[in-house]
Every structure is written in C-alpha cells, then in structure tokens.
Structure 1
Amino acid sequence: MSEHLPITDGARPRWRGLVTTVMLILISVMIVRDILGRRWTGTPPSPPDSTLQSH
C-alpha cells in the first residue's frame, strides 16, 4: 500500500495556490483586454465564410 507522507512545510501548498491565483488573474486580464479592445476599436465583425454553398 502507498504511504501518505505528512506535509511538514506549509509553504508548498501556499506556493501552488499562489501560482493558480496568478494564472487565473492573467487569464482574466487577457479576456477583459480582448473584449474591451474589440469594443473600442470599432471594427465590424468579420462576415461569415461564404464559400460554403447550400445544396
């Protein structure tokens, strides 16, 4: 059976939580920047691909 070693140092879980928090913040900032950038540039959305023909 596998042995579960106790975590003696409390910094490791805190470090993992910090990395996760930083990654979530960076992803959120990139999403918000993309949304605001698309809104403020004023470029119309690209038209749908018209190469497909219905039969």
Structure 2
Amino acid sequence: MSENLSASDAARPRWRGLVTTVMLVLISVMIVRDILIRRWAGSPPTPPDTTQQSR
C-alpha cells in the first residue's frame, strides 16, 4: 500500500512543474507580443494632457 502512495507523490511535483513552466512560457509570450505590437504599430504616441498657453 505504501508503494501506491509513493508513486502518486512522485508524479505530483512533475505535474506542478509542468503547469508552472507552461504558465511562465505563456506570460513571457504575452509580454514579448505586447512589446512588439507597441513598437511596430506605427501609431504616434499620444500627446500629453497639458494645454499650451498662448503667448
């Protein structure tokens, strides 16, 4: 009976490691995609919210 428990305990960290790795890769891909879209979107940066005073 203790053999069954040790086998399931050994599989659990592997599953957690796989989930952690997949989540880290997905977050990294989302960050890189956001950076590339902002760089190559071609839209000019938004102007500041301050108004210019006439002289």
Alignment TM-score, normalising by the size of structure 1: 0.67
Find the counterpart in structure 2 of residue 34 from structure 1: 34
Structure number, greater radius of gyration: 2
Aligned length: 45
Inter-partner Cα distance in structure 1 for 2:30 and 2:48: 25
Inter-partner Cα distance in structure 2 for 1:28 and 1:18: 15
Unmatched runs of 5 consecutive residues or more in structure 2: none
Return the letter of the residue paired with 1:12. R
Unmatched runs of 5 consecutive residues or more in structure 1: 1-6
Find the counterpart in structure 2 of residue 13 from structure 1: 13
CA-atom RMSD, angstroms?
1.9
Identity, in percent, stands at 80
Alignment TM-score, normalising by the size of structure 2: 0.67
Inter-partner Cα distance in structure 1 for 2:12 and 2:18: 10
